[in-house]
């Protein structure tokens, strides 16, 4: 009986510490869910969702994009993309994506073996800079990095970005203050206008291959 009492006393003494530790772990975790409507020439053609799970210095991001363009009720173009990213601080440590670009499939993976980064594009491995990041555009912190890769097809991108300052944009009929950036890639058509609300992207605007304006607005 005395032993049982001693054990109970120890557990009761530890209980506040265990509760505090569990509470601290809960506070350290932050999840963000964002959904974007993709609009082309006034018509909605798809959606994009971004889920961010941050705990301590580890951040996991999952992005899913679905686009369907119809002309006279006939599907003229479709795009399906899903990717998963894992970050340790500001270092990308793992990436995997699967894309169907109008019938053309792509599989991209990124991994770190010690300090050696490796990017595999459709079964072909290539060495890349350690600080390379995917052009998934979900965070403003990525903009200062010059070396990117296209998460859909693995194309290497050398990025220049321009800070255009504070701006006001109409998002679903409401005026919203945001910070405006423009990015461009040397030797590529990967040009984007980006508006951020804090660290998270609010709007992405680009020109389609047919010169139409495509806008992705956060709900």
Mean pLDDT value of segment 200-208: 94
Q: What is the value of pTM for the model shown?
A: 0.84
Mean pLDDT value of segment 78-97: 97
The full DSSP string for 129-193 is -TT-EES---BGGGTT--EEE-TTT--EEEEEEEEEEEEEEEETTEEEEEEEEEEEETTS---EE
Domain map (residue ranges) of the chain: 2-218
Domain 2-218 has CATH 1.20.58: no
User: Which band of pLDDT confidence, cut at 50, 70 and 90, is reported for residue 14?
Assistant: low
**Token digits of residue 182:** 């423009």
Mean pLDDT value of segment 98-116: 94
Which residue, 88, 124, 92, is CA-closest to 110? 92
The CA dihedral of 164, 168, 169, 172, to the nearest 10 degrees, is: 150
The pLDDT value given to residue 60: 98
pLDDT tens digit string along 35-59? 999 999 999 999 999 999 999 999 9
More confident residue, 186 or 12: 186
pLDDT tens digit string along 24-35? 555 589 999 999
């Amino acid at each position: 009986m005395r032993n049982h009492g001693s054990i109970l006393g120890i557990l009761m003494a530890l209980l506040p510490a265990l509760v505090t530790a569990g509470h601290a772990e809960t506070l350290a975790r932050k999840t963000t869910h964002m959904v974007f409507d993709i609009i082309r020439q006034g018509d909605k053609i798809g959606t994009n969702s971004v889920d961010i799970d941050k705990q301590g210095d580890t951040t996991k991001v999952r992005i899913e994009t679905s686009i369907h363009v119809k002309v006279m009720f006939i599907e003229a173009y479709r795009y399906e993309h899903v990717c998963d990213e894992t970050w340790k601080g500001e270092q990308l440590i793992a990436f995997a994506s699967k894309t169907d670009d109008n019938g053309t499939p792509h599989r991209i993976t990124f991994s770190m073996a010690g300090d050696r980064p490796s990017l595999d594009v459709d079964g072909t491995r290539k060495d890349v800079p350690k600080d390379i990041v995917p052009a998934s555009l979900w965070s403003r912190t990525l903009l200062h990095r010059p070396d990117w890769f296209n998460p859909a097809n693995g194309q290497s991108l050398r990025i220049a970005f321009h800070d255009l300052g504070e701006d006001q944009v109409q998002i679903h009929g409401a005026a919203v203050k945001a910070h405006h950036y423009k990015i461009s890639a040397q030797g590529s058509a990967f040009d984007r206008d980006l508006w951020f609300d804090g660290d998270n992207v609010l709007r992405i605007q680009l020109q389609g291959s047919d010169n139409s304006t495509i806008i992705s607005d956060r709900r």
